[in-house]
Amino acid sequence: MASFVLAIAISAPAAAQQASNQQMVDLVLQIQQLQDEIRMLRGQLEEQAFEIENLKRRQRDQYLDLDQRISEAGAGRPASAQPSTAAQPPASRVIPPQEDVPEVRAPMETPSTVTGLGAPQASARTGEATPEAEKQAYDSAFQALKELRYADAASAFTAFLNRYPGSEYADNAQYWLGESYYVTRNYELALEAFEGLQQRFPDSSKSGDALLKIGYTHYELKNWDLARAALSQVQEQYPDTSLARLAESRLRSMRLEGRF
């Protein structure tokens, strides 16, 4: 009996020590698991931060690009060259806003305004489509774009194209309509507008810009193959131009992102 009690007395501390050791092992494993989860969460946060920064950068680039193009149009300078394989037009048809035109005309009695997504309200003196009314309608839409009223600009350019489909400003209106949608991330509508310019006005001085934006828009829509095809076409048709350099820059980004 004494031997049995002695055996229990000896084994009890050993069992307790073994249980304590197992608890320590379990605790270490839990700590390691928590550390792994923290590393995983930190990695996810870094990926999300990187993606957010990319989105901010693309949005900033979109606004800067649009601002530059508006400035170039306001100065009466074309945004890009015609393709090397096509005949050069007699003059650029990037139309500046009204205040840059030398001729000074008296203001309309009731200026047309653009509200929301509706069409421009007709002025009291625009009963028929005169060259002056046509130019005033284009300038009104362009002014809305310059003032960052993108919904108003899109509405006004749409109304202009519906009323003056054969206007000398129609191709520019079509392009700026696409920009109005693109900068507000309405990519499906932007793509429709840019492709419409390519189809309706293939010889326009804005055709190259539209093709570049088609590539950009497909990129935003995650149509990687279509984006690559459009951007590559820009490089082929407009070599040694700013358009080609912009296309190459986006293609380089796509390669780094593993898009192709």
Q: Looking at beta carbons, which pairs linking 227-236 to residues 24 or more positions away fall under 8 Å?
A: 227/254, 227/259, 228/254, 228/259, 228/260, 234/208
Extract the runs of DSSP E, i.e. beta strands, from 52-126.
Answer: none
Specify whether the CB–CB gap between 146 and 132 falls below 8 A: no
Question: Between the CA of residue 160 and those of 35, 122, 167, 191, what are the distances in Å?
Answer: 62, 11, 9, 19
86 has pLDDT over 70: no
- What percentage of the chain exceeds 90 in pLDDT? 50
* CA–CA dist 132, 126 (Å, integer): 9
Q: Residue 15: pLDDT band by 50, 70, 90 thresholds?
A: low
Residue scoring higher pLDDT (18 or 100): 18
Q: ∠ CA 184-175-257 to the nearest 5 degrees?
A: 55
20 has pLDDT over 50: yes
Considering only the C-alpha atoms of the chain, give the largest distance between any 2 of them, rounded to a whole number of Å: 123
**61-82+92-100+111-121+128-256 adopts what CATH topology?**
1.25.40
pLDDT at position 100: 37
Q: What ranges in 75-85 are assigned the alpha helix state H? A: none
pLDDT at position 95: 45
pLDDT (mean) for 193-207: 96
Q: Residue 114: pLDDT band by 50, 70, 90 thresholds?
A: very low
pLDDT at position 3: 60
pLDDT tens digit string along 32-59? 767 766 766 766 666 566 557 556 666 6
pTM for this entry:
0.60
67 has pLDDT over 60: yes
pLDDT tens digit string along 221-256? 999 999 999 999 999 999 999 999 999 999 999 999
